[in-house]
Structure 1
Amino acid sequence: MSPGDEHEASGGYGGSGQTRTRLPDDVYGGARPRTRSSSRSLVTVVGVVVLLIAAIAFANRGDDDGSSGTGGNGGAKPEAATTAASGTKPVQAGFAHDGQGAQSAAANYAVSLGSAEMFDKAKRDAILQAIITPSRVAQFEGTLDKAYTPAFNKAVGLNEDGSTPSGYTFVSRTTPIGTKVTQGSADNTTVEVWCSGLLGLAGENSTNPVTSTWFTITMQLQWTDGDWKIVTHSQKDGPAPVPGDDRASSADEMAKAVEEYGGFTYAR
């Protein structure tokens, strides 16, 4: 099912309506920060931005993969719904067939492609089926299968099969900061998405602590079957702000934040 939105379209291509963000009823979120230089090089070698950006294909799902906790009192992890803005699912229909709709699609697709779900082949394929133009799905699947290898999983701190080691919390989220249309027509639009990302393994003695990065993703979108779909995408570093003097959180604090705060999956 194609991801969608429930937004007020404003302006044509290149328009700059104020960005709106809503919390969904799931915690899928992705970060497409840089991993270690060796792992990022692996992604580059296969010619794809592997870790781009809460799985839009699953934005309307009421269930979760367990990372959101079981809810309840006494310090137990909350249900995903407790971090949602309301009980109403935010996404109801397809993205608008205009410039703002294209920017909405690009922002959300960036989040999807950088989510932790991309490390699970079944979920990854479902995401690609939802957001890639049909003629390119097989190509994307093949390229990403070559990138998400056991060696790559180990490089980011996971087990070879992509599962999270016992006692740790895997963090992979991307947050769109802003979008702009760089080239557009009625059915073909290029959108840049400026992002901040988190990636790493939270837990005692983690050798891959959660780090943040800044990057810009460029997507060529095509209006296909009543929605925007990705034709191509690429990524470059920055723009990055000057680091602040914030104290780095402990592994426990980071893991708790990821478990308790749902990721954003709907923007603009």
Structure 2
Amino acid sequence: MLRRNLYQEFYKLGHRKITWWSPIILLLLMVITGYGIGYNEGKLLTVTNYNSPDWIILLLVVVGATTFSMEFQNNAILTLLTKSPNKAIVYLSKYLVLFCYDCFLHAIAILFTIGLRYAPLNSHVSWSTIYLYHEPLWENMLKTVGVDLLTTMFIISLVFLLSCLINSNATVTIISLLIVFMGQFVSSSLLNYQDWLPLIKWNPFNMINLTREYYNYVTYYATSQLSNAQLLTGTLCYTLLFVTLGYLIFRKKYF
């Protein structure tokens, strides 16, 4: 039964224009980043896949917000629920398909990075160059991708939770984007009160810093007050929490 639901979700995703426009938009944003950061920043651009983590989150929020909200608005969700034995399969299949699309975008970003490294955007740097954490450049890049997969799925779990609470696609998208781009500022403001509330540094907004702190530890540790391992742990815990809460709300929702 899960297989059938997965097939349906992949079919719907594959027939949406935004699914295939996203890689093109991603490439354009990566090229703009390459020009904007500077010719001599080849190592940083390679490790961050030309800042693709920020662009992929943006694209996933748009795609993810419509996964539930549009079906709530046009009542298409009723058809899915009628054909599925329980709501858990519907919810899980949507999350798994979006995770696969997340992996697809990151894989595309790696391929684009390999190509852009040989374009006249930045200085050429060997893959074996030792960079972050005394590791070669290629390893830094792959680890950044792995870390960002966790960060993006944390954001998607939050998007799903909001989608189950709010039926408006536009509202969910706007709130999610505000969280992504203003979360760091909100977290920094909350950390001003950590003398009275030491656990405030574990607020969910702080977990958005996970990817950035990996490739810029000194700057972002001062902002987050948490180590890479602590941010990783917090991100996994909040992802599980938001996925669970989203499902519980979805299960109790009346259509």
Answer yes or no: same fold by TM over 0.5: no
TM-score (norm 1): 0.27
Name which one, 1 or 2, has greater alpha-carbon Rg.
Answer: 2
TM norm structure 2 = 0.28
More helix by share: 2
